[in-house]
Amino acid sequence: MTFDATDLTRELDAHLADADSALAQGFPGERPDRQPVHTVYVPASRYDAGLVPRWGQEALAVLDEHGGDAQAYAALLGIGPDLAEDVVGRVRAKLAAEPVEDLRIDFEDGYGAPADDVEDAAVDASSAALLESVRGGTAAPFHGIRFKSFEAPTRARGVRTLARFVEAVAADGSLPEGFVVTLPKVTSVEQVEAMVVACERIESGLGLRSGAMGFEIQVETPQAILGPDGTALVARMVHAAAGRCTGLHYGTYDYSASLGVAAAYQSMEHPAADHAKAVMQVAAAGTGVRLSDGSTNILPVGGREAVRAAWALHARLVRRSLERGYYQGWDLHPAQLPSRYAATYAFYREGLPAAAERLRNYVGQVDSGVMDEPATARALADFVVRGLDCGATDDAEVKELTGIDRHRLDVLAKRTAG
């Protein structure tokens, strides 16, 4: 007797239809666009249209003053001598051409709480400056604002700044490409739902297309990680965002302080930080929502030894984040840009030969002794694509090493359809 599974399959399809739909809607997979390697936070009162290129110039100046030659700078950051010239050369080119990948004009902790007329004036000035930089080609590829939280004491001011800024930059009926906003100090799922309502009302009121506004959730309160019912609220927050959430950003110091960690021990590598980010990572997996690590407040400023010590620390923390799958972080000062890019480029260039060889073998179905599955091939391709996006490698080098063009890489990485 032969069993015909046709009727059983139909029955199971009907039984699992709702689950299939929920999985497809809630876990659509990774987003296809580029993820910046960092977000730079600048108080609104200090932002102007020339800030991005000026940061690049200042970063190059401090690298010239305190970095030494390529070999010396690479050694300081723990980068091997064989990569020194290439990595530092690429860093210098990056600082000259695209020093900031993502910029957030800050109206929250970095800005303060001035009178309403003062903040309104800052909104007007900074929105005009952002548009000027976009039109002049000097803006960061990704940019936006962080406004005050939806906690009761700051809610009205946060909404006022958000609406006023969006109205200013959407004067022609659309938002600038790469525009995103950050919702800070989120303590409840209801605040995320409120943010969705705010986006809908602002879009409707300004004649923007539905869904034009995306936002990041800043995870900097313990309530976001563990709710009163014992669940990980950050997972529910992601799904409450109705597809508008683009990222989860870890807030190093607010989160640590909320747990009672002494100031001297608050850092991106504290066990409490690692726990929070691990929860965020699982909550975001498969949703298309991306992770960003936080910042270090040890800045490369002052005398030569202080600058070099801060660079070494920053590079180690950047590398640590990358190894754990956090491909983005925060930078707070121009002098952090050299160590950000040097550590990032070294990470990708060190891993490129092995990743390229495994991709070549996978696509060519070569029996190499390592049997990679499609999920691993996707991770390998994603690694190479991230290196391409930030400038750690280029299309010609990758084609030579893998035998694969950019389109095929994007297909393997699930960045585009085959």
Two tokens at 261? 């960690």
38-344 — its CATH code?
3.20.20.60
Q: What pLDDT sits at residue 9?
A: 95
Give 113's contacts (C-beta < 8 A, 6+ positions apart). Answer: 148, 154, 157
pLDDT digits (tens, 9 = 90+) for 41-64: 999 999 999 999 999 999 999 999
User: By percentage, how much of the chain surpasses pLDDT 70?
Assistant: 98
pLDDT band at 374 (very low <50, low <70, confident <90, very high): confident
Is residue 180 a contact partner of residue 216, using CB atoms and an 8 Å limit?
yes
184 DSSP assignment = -
pLDDT band at 415 (very low <50, low <70, confident <90, very high): confident
Residue 30 has pLDDT above 90, yes or no: no
CA–CA distance from 132 to each of 58, 121, 135, 139, 145 (Å)? Answer: 21, 17, 5, 8, 16
Q: Looking up tokens 């997996």, which residue turns up?
A: 285
Q: What's the mean per-residue pLDDT of the chain?
A: 95
Widest CA span in the chain: 85
Cα separation, 87 vs 340, in Å, equals: 12
In angstroms, how far is the first alpha carbon of the chain from the final one? Answer: 41
Q: Looking up tokens 């997979």, which residue turns up?
A: 29
What does the pLDDT average to over 224-251? 96
Single-letter residue type at 132: E
Q: 85-123 burial string, b = 16+ CB within 10 Å, else e? A: ebbbebbbebbeebbbbbbbbbbbbbbeeeeeeebeebb
Two tokens at 258? 């909320």
pLDDT digits (tens, 9 = 90+) for 114-130: 999 999 999 999 999 99
Give me the helix-helix angle, 189-206 and 155-169, nearest 10°.
Answer: 40
Give 322's contacts (C-beta < 8 A, 6+ positions apart). Answer: 343, 344, 347
What does the pLDDT average to over 353-367? 86
Residue 371 has pLDDT above 70, yes or no: no
CA–CA distance from 88 to each of 36, 248, 249, 309, 401 (Å)? Answer: 19, 30, 28, 18, 21
What does the pLDDT average to over 409-413? 90
Q: Looking up tokens 């409120």, which residue turns up?
A: 194
Cα separation, 319 vs 79, in Å, equals: 11
Q: Kindly write down the DSSP assignment for every residue of 225-284, as one continuous string.
A: HS-TTSS-HHHHHHHHTTT-EEEEEE-HHHHHHHTT--GGG-STTSHHHHHHHHHHHHHH
Give 172's contacts (C-beta < 8 A, 6+ positions apart). Answer: none
Q: What pLDDT sits at residue 418?
A: 64
Q: What pLDDT sits at residue 156?
A: 98
Cα separation, 291 vs 9, in Å, equals: 38
The edge-to-edge listing of strands for the beta sheet with 142-146 is: 290-292, 245-250, 215-219, 179-183, 142-146, 102-106, 38-43, 329-331
Q: What pLDDT sits at residue 368?
A: 62
45 DSSP assignment = G
Residue 369 has pLDDT above 90, yes or no: no
Sorted by where each begins, the domain ranges of the chain are: 38-344
Cα separation, 81 vs 403, in Å, equals: 27
Q: What pLDDT sits at residue 364?
A: 79
Cα separation, 95 vs 117, in Å, equals: 36
Burial (CB count <10 Å: 0-12, 13-18, 19+), residue 197: exposed
Closest by CA position to 227, among listed 254, 190, 197: 190
What does the pLDDT average to over 68-80? 97
Q: What pLDDT sits at residue 373?
A: 81
Residue 397 has pLDDT above 90, yes or no: yes
What does the pLDDT average to over 372-392? 92
pLDDT digits (tens, 9 = 90+) for 174-233: 999 999 999 999 999 999 999 999 999 999 999 999 999 999 999 999 999 999 999 999
pLDDT digits (tens, 9 = 90+) for 308-328: 999 999 999 999 999 999 999
Q: What pLDDT sits at residue 370?
A: 62
Q: Looking up tokens 């969705």, which residue turns up?
A: 196
At 334, phi and psi to the nearest 5? -55, -35
Cα separation, 272 vs 114, in Å, equals: 33
At 183, phi and psi to the nearest 5? -95, 110
Q: What pLDDT sits at residue 414?
A: 83
Q: What pLDDT sits at residue 173?
A: 87
Residue 295 has pLDDT above 90, yes or no: yes
